[in-house]
Homo-oligomer: A and B are copies of this chain.
Amino acid sequence: MGQRSALVVIGNEILSGRTVDKNINWIAEQMTGRGVPLTEVRIVPDIEAKIVEAVNGLRAEYDYVFTTGGIGPTHDDITAASVAKAFGVEFERHQEAYQVLLDYYGPAELTEARASMANMPRGVRLLDNPVSGAPGFALENVYVMAGVPRIMQAMFGHVLSEIAPGAAILSNTVFCDLQESLIAQGLRAIQDRYGVVDIGSYPSFRGGVLNVSVVLRGTDGEAIAAATKEVLALIDEKGGEIRSQSFQVDVGD
């Protein structure tokens, strides 16, 4: 098995429904593109014990763990202290981070609240924040980033520089007008023949009618191409019509 990643989203505002998370899908796409698939996500409230539990559970299981949210200057920003607790290390003023804040705000504007964003677990690597100054940080395989999407995305550039790319994850998608139950048996047989291809079947409504997208995903292009051909033949056999298709792997003719 290749490298895998996980994400902890920290934020009462997501759990209350006030804010729609925009980071999960963005990070998922990034990591699929990197060949280090996002394999688990947890959304937890601003409660230290829940953050510690999620970070410690996931950092033991996955190669990389990302967190978003809770690293600002206010009383509800408890991520950095919680991560220190998770690792059992000191939570202290990081001198280089403090200097970054001093340069960004200037001495007159560097209030104690702002300076508190330089309090971090001992031993971290800083993640540059070209958008709003205060850096994120990484400790071992855990990357702690802001929740504001624009800031998180800016920090993620640095994160990617530390992640060795895995084998490219390729996918072919076929969208057709059949109900998935009509191709279920045939799909299972194709899945059984192509163990290295991850075949997903995703129903959706369009115009009040159930359709299905079949997604064939994996790192073995030849197997994906061969399995895709069989899926196309199956849909044709069942009288379905292809409404759209998107192929990263050419299936030939």
Interface residue ranges, A against B (CB under 8 Å) = 12-21, 24-26, 28-32, 37-46, 50, 72-77, 111-114, 116, 132, 148, 150, 169, 171, 173, 180-185, 187-188, 191, 198-205, 210, 215, 217
A76 with B37: in contact, given A18-B215, A25-B17, A113-B185 (CB under 8 Å)? no
A185 touches B18 (CB 8 A): no
Please indicate the chain B residues that have their CB under 8 angstroms from the CB of A198 in the complex: 12
- Is the beta-carbon distance between B50 and A44 smaller than 8 angstroms? no
* Interface residues of A, dominant DSSP: mixed
Closest 6 CB pairs of A and B: A17-B28, A113-B184, A17-B29, A41-B43, A75-B188, A74-B201
Q: What residues on B are CB-neighbors of A205 within 8 Å?
A: 148, 150
Q: Closest B-chain residue to A112, C-beta based?
A: B185
- How far apart are A240's CB and chain B's nearest CB, in angstroms? 14
Please judge, given known A-B contacts A45-B40, A50-B40, A148-B203, whether A73 and B20 are in contact too, CB under 8 Å: no
Q: How distant is the Cα of A204 from the Cα of B45 in the complex, in angstroms?
A: 19
* Alpha-carbon gap, A72 to B182, bound state (A): 12
> Which residues of chain B are within 8 angstroms of A171 by Cβ–Cβ distance?
16, 18
**CA gap between A139 and B201 in the complex, in Å:** 26
Contact at B41–A28, with CB atoms within 8 Å?
no
Which of A21, A26, A74, A199 counts the most chain B CB atoms within 10 A?
A: A74
A and B contact pairs by CB, cutoff 8 A, 13 listed: A15-B41, A17-B31, A18-B171, A40-B44, A40-B45, A41-B41, A46-B200, A72-B181, A75-B201, A77-B201, A111-B181, A113-B185, A148-B203
Min CB gap A79→B, angstroms: 13
A44 to B40, CA, bound (A): 5
Chain B residue, CB-CB nearest to A50: B40
Closest residue on chain B to residue A28 by CB atoms: B17
Q: A72-B201, A185-B111, A201-B72 are in contact. Are A28 and B15 (CB under 8 A)?
A: yes
